[in-house]
Structure 1
């Protein structure tokens, strides 16, 4: 039997675990969250993504109970959580600093919340053993936090947060302190643990790659608002604005006036430059300003003009960023605008076909670029 895809947000019979209903949060005259409504479903790994100061941590602090909404409601399992104190919510938070007790062993750190809840010794021992196994820390149970690595401390904090089997686990920039390689490994560990426990995870991060790797859905935030909530592939391939397109991954954005044509629009972006074309189901008027967002990996670089593509621009190579498996070419158009194109390095560097200052043609298919209204 084929495995059904996990998409509760597309199922009208599914009830969300968390509902933000017209939530506004003000600090004095400053509006941190501006009238926001969205849902998070059980077993989701949901990411709040955005630059510093966009309101994502405020969202999380309201979920945890450290802040109350100024207006609107947050429902957990259909109940308004505002009157429930933080320690009585079925919500746990894992802090960026991990906040482990330095004088307690790994075992005692994980057991701390269970002991405080007055669980009996046998139940505590069984649960701690389960958590140690889940986070692969069995060998380190008797060590103190300073005797283990940063990645292991991160896993202790995770085990402690999950020990009380919360319905919801909030993770505030949980991988910020780890180096690049460890971050990557830990992202996959987090996903495995989330899947194994079935706990709903909400992660706050400013790292787009992290959000795209771990999340079932990503909420991109800007200035107190959720701009787009969607699956990582949709956010990347089908952004709803230039802000989202620009925030996630590399992109070139060309703007100009549009004219309806075929299944989409032609775009005139500069005097003396060829018109470009994009398939699109947007409803734009003739002469309206449109924005064409094109990802570097969708742009081909060739020495001659390709005959079979109507999107073709001539330019000069300004820069080449060599990333091992990929090379990104920064190509300057006669207008001074720079378009990025990416190619896979299937050959040795010595055989690279293009060099700095070379004149090249950039081209892409009718459906490769996304036309945006704003």
Structure 2
């Protein structure tokens, strides 16, 4: 029995949980958010991704009610929440610092918001016990925050944020304080908890890998605008601009002039070099300036000349050994660098290629992405 794919954004009848309509936010002469329109759906794990100053945190603060839009409207479950104060929104926010009360136990931290609401003792005890189970903290309820690890404090903050069963949970760089290995483990825990609770998560991050790991969809932002909103595979494999291609992962971007061919385009890019073939559905004007983006894992490296669409000769000038794979920086005759990757599938410490080796690189016409800007 096939499992239904979760993709409400592709369903014309699906109603968004959150609707941004023409939202602009100015601070004096500076425009932090510029005419932003966006839908986020119930049960989504939605990531706002971009460099510092791109507007992603301002968007989150507007959702939380800490900032008011200069223009436009925001709806939550169909209700305009522009004038609704933060404490009256079905929204909770988890900060990077976690903001736990150091003098309270784990149990008391989780119960804090429920007590403030005036819930009865039995309901609070049942809800806190449920949150401790969900975040695998049953054994730590009596401990103070300084008596548990960074990853456990992160889970306490998450449990406290979820205790009041918000429709929407906002996470502002929630894993920034964790070391790399713990951060990777916690990403999957977050995904598991989000799926179990059914709460809509919106995460702000500048970590591309984190956004690609946890999110159902990613919004790439720049200078207060949405550049592309799509699922992680689409954002990575089909970026809509050189900005998105360059922002997400490693990529080589080659500029040239596009000419139509039988199954796409060829790109004239360097004197004395063969034109590069790329399959594309774009309608690019003959001879127009265009770009090809090619990921290093799509580029193969060889000692002998292969038979393929795009075959180039170059010299290895740098090598990055990353354990599971090696990245080779291959210099072309004109000084341009194209990166290629090899997976290290065997337990052999010797590299198949070394510095100053003359090599061939190649990739198929289907591997590159043609971009107009």
The TM-score by the shorter chain falls in which range? over 0.9
Instruction: Kindly indicate whether residue 346 of structure 2 is the aligned counterpart of residue 347 of structure 1.
Output: yes
Distance 2:349 2:230 in 1: 42
The residue that corresponds to 2:179 in the other structure is 179
The residue that corresponds to 1:227 in the other structure is 227
SS in 2 for 1:124: helix
The residue that corresponds to 1:253 in the other structure is 253
Q: Give 1:355 deviation, angstroms.
A: 1.1
Instruction: Kindly indicate whether residue 339 of structure 2 is the aligned counterpart of residue 332 of structure 1.
Output: no
Q: Give 1:352 deviation, angstroms.
A: 2.9
The residue that corresponds to 1:115 in the other structure is 115
SS in 1 for 2:209: helix
SS in 2 for 1:4: coil
The residue that corresponds to 1:313 in the other structure is 312
CA contact (8 A) 1:50 1:206 kept: yes
Map 1:58-73; keep pairs closer than 5 Å: 58-73=58-73
CA contact (8 A) 1:253 1:294 kept: yes
SS in 1 for 2:109: helix
Map 1:156-171; keep pairs closer than 5 Å: 156-171=156-171
Q: Give 1:351 deviation, angstroms.
A: 4.5
The residue that corresponds to 2:83 in the other structure is 83
Q: Give 1:348 deviation, angstroms.
A: 3.7
Distance 1:245 1:356 in 2: 28
TM-score for both structures, normalised by structure 1: 0.99
The residue that corresponds to 1:4 in the other structure is 4
Q: Give 1:270 deviation, angstroms.
A: 1.0
SS in 2 for 1:343: strand
Distance 1:303 1:153 in 2: 51
TM-score for both structures, normalised by structure 2: 0.99
Instruction: Kindly indicate whether residue 27 of structure 2 is the aligned counterpart of residue 50 of structure 1.
Output: no
Q: Per-residue displacement from partner, 1:58-114 (whole Å, max 9, x unpaired)? A: 000000000011000111111111111100000000001000011111101000000
Aligned residues: 373
Gaps of 5+ in 2: none
Distance 1:246 1:132 in 2: 41
SS in 2 for 1:221: strand
Q: Per-residue displacement from partner, 1:274-311 (whole Å, max 9, x unpaired)? A: 1001000000111101100000000010112212x121
Distance 2:206 2:295 in 1: 21
